[in-house]
Structure 1
Amino acid sequence: MVTVHLSYTSRVNKPEDSPVLTVPQIWAGLQRKVRFAQEFVPVIESCTVLEEKEDGTVIRDVKFKEGAGPKPRARETVREYYPSWVDFEQEDGTHIRNVVSDGPSGEESDLQISYMFEINLPHIQDGTEEKEKEVKKLKGMAKMAVEKSIDTIREMVKDGRI
């Protein structure tokens, strides 16, 4: 089994972006992403909330599009840590964190989102060509997930869903 660690960070508000997203708007988007992941991450086909606990923890089942995700499906325990990050922990030990942070200026409009991944791949052996192919695929998936999430949050702010 191989465990892959990777991350991707993007600026939330580039000069050409409108509207400028704020932390409360980003956070509202991430909360929606917990329950409707397929709206934010194109490789996810469906997301079913199985349980919402009193402490805010969400247990969900995520189904990936065939051949697009690292596995066919995942059961996740999701915890929110306002206003900084959301943790997604899968039953196989895979761990994903969505982090909202200040950019270098510290101004509210200078925000970044990072997605950090610790992905267990039981079907892959270390040092193989298959591992390198999978890492390349996962890096592309990470970039797409961050960029698409930001775009989706911005569209939801524009159309009033957030």
Structure 2
Amino acid sequence: MVNFNLAFTAPINPPSASPVLTVPQIWAGLQRKIRFAQEFVPVIESCEVLEDKDGVVTRAVKFKKGMGPRDEANEVVRGFEPAWVDFEQDDGTHIRNIISDSDAGLQMTYMFEFRLPHLQEGAAADKELERFKGMSKHAVESSIDVIREMVKDGRIQ
């Protein structure tokens, strides 16, 4: 079994960004992402909310064939307003989406603890690690871009 622990951070409001996003807008975007993950993460094909109770969402996510860490996952999702959202999958994989402030402005970090029981150490694992690094970078940047588009078109105020 191979475990990958990765993190990627991107600026939310680089100098060329318009409109400039606020923490409440980013938080609203992450709340939408909990329920409609496929709008934010290109490797996700569908997201079905199974239960939404007391701030805890249980959902079933299907990944595009060959694009995700596996074909599907059940997740328990908890939000910790206004700083982060936790996604815990049934295989022990854990993902956290973090909004943080810095001297350079607002940042978005995604942390991944991938548990991959089907993979063994070696060349195949090294190749997968590089794919997962690219996927994590794209997931952060894509989510920020989608939130910005939703603010532009009025879905997020």
**Cα RMSD after superposing both structures:** 0.6
In structure 2, what is the equivalent of residue 145 of structure 1? 139
Offset of 1:125 from its aligned partner? 1.1
Amino acid at match of 1:98: N
Question: SS at 1:157's partner residue?
Answer: helix
In structure 1, what is the equivalent of residue 93 of structure 2? 94
Match for residue 158 of structure 1 among 147, 152, 155 = 152
> Separation in 1 of the partners of 2:22 and 2:102?
13
In structure 2, what is the equivalent of residue 38 of structure 1? 38
Deviations 1:113-154 (A, max 9, x none): 00000000011112x001101110100100000000000000
In structure 2, what is the equivalent of residue 78 of structure 1? 77
> Is 2:112 the partner of 1:117?
yes
> Separation in 2 of the partners of 1:148 and 1:159?
16
Identical counterparts, % of pairs: 65
In structure 2, what is the equivalent of residue 60 of structure 1? 59
Offset of 1:90 from its aligned partner? 0.4
In structure 1, what is the equivalent of residue 102 of structure 2? 103
> Separation in 2 of the partners of 1:42 and 1:93?
22
> Separation in 1 of the partners of 2:64 and 2:119?
20
> Separation in 1 of the partners of 2:17 and 2:110?
20
> Separation in 2 of the partners of 1:122 and 1:31?
30
> Separation in 2 of the partners of 1:125 and 1:72?
18
TM-score between both structures, scaled by the size of structure 2: 0.98
> Separation in 1 of the partners of 2:79 and 2:145?
21
Across the two proteins, how many residue pairs are aligned to each other? 156
In structure 2, what is the equivalent of residue 129 of structure 1? 123
Unaligned runs of 5+ in 2: none
